[in-house]
Structure 1
Amino acid sequence: MSPQMIDRLWQAFQDTLFMVGVSAGIAVLAGIPLAVFLVTSGHGGIFPTPRLNRIVGLAVNGFRAVPFIVLLVALIPFTRLVVGTTIGVWAAIVPLAVSATPFFARIAEVSLREVDPGLIEAAQSIGCRRWHIIRHVLLPEAMPGIIGGLTITVVTMIGASAMAGVVGAGGLGDVAMRYGYQRFDTNVMLVVIAILIVMVSAVQFTGDTVVRRLKAR
């Protein structure tokens, strides 16, 4: 493999890390509040607004139902409005974040719903405010599950970022398509696959380690 190809792979690896990292950050910042809202605004929640809960839930399900490659194309006008372009790393971050946020929110919602209701009732009985219950009971108790869900989300996003590379978003997927598939270079394809496997394994190991430490506290 030529030095130029090694440089391309290194740059593509950095682009993929950047795409996934920024998109994951957006998914966390938007997904956790969304999950908290879905849990607390439902029937029996501490902020019950069932009608709004159903509307938001339908919107979340709608985005989750759309395949990423379709969402990638459908969001082209919105992506151009937000970042001013439809190609490159920043153009991939928009659909990645939009796709990952509802996915992560639903996983975080499941973790929040698994918190023992007795803990919430105990906090209410001693006069805790509802926001304090969210901050000091719901989120800390659900954190291992939320981190586990984030791990799954990031792994999914790594695969999606490679798919985005097929339509000019850059990253490892772009290198695999342009220099591997189109030029029939099996070595490039195998190297990209190996890098993706290493990335996924590293994310999964890190996530599992954090979850074990949180559960051990």
Structure 2
Amino acid sequence: MNKCFVPIFSLLWITMTPGIVSGQGGDSVRTLITPVQCYGFRNGAIHVDAVYGGIAPFYYSLDGQNFSTNPTFDRLWAGVYTLYVRDANGAVRQWKITLKEPAALSVKLEITSGVVTSGEIFGLRAITSVEREFLQEIVWEPEELFVQQDTLRQAISIQETTQIMVTVKDQNGCIDMDKQVVEIASAPLYLPNAIKPGSTDEDGYFTLFAGAGVKQIASMQIFSRSGSLIFERQN
């Protein structure tokens, strides 16, 4: 599933902290920080917007070894980085910069009913790691089973074993999903094994009893001991 990248820039002033000093260097830098969009992503960025003090041109590095005139570092993981700035005279200053990332977005699908029977309504619940107000979208599948999509609770019925899936997306565009195969419980059936022919009470009749989940008996056949069909009825 595709996950979009939404740049989120924040202006950060970083004043000089004790570090490597060689001759005359910059007193401070101004950077534009792009936090990591989603937990575990590698799309953070650091851009040096301005250097105050020192002699241009300036050279930039995140390891103190490889310098270039490119003031932008992208495809970064969340973490603490050391930004090195070297001026034309070779003077170097360094600053600590933290790239943050949001907490992991997660969703867990639960069936709130104990037993699921064919045709009977049962409950579903999506438990998320963030509050509902921080979710941008909720999608339930198969789509035809759900009248309403944008909710964390559902009440549906199914006729056969079905895989249910829920996908959530937060305001940063981060996505998580969970799925579960919902199995239909076997419907209880009761067939009397003895009747009293000619009796006028209930013992004189053969009746098939079905429990919850049985909508209709499609076919019933009764055979004699010799295997001959003696009774048949459809629907």
Q: TM-score, normalised by structure 1?
A: 0.21
Larger Rg: 2
Q: TM-score, normalised by structure 2?
A: 0.20
Q: Which has the higher helix share?
A: 1
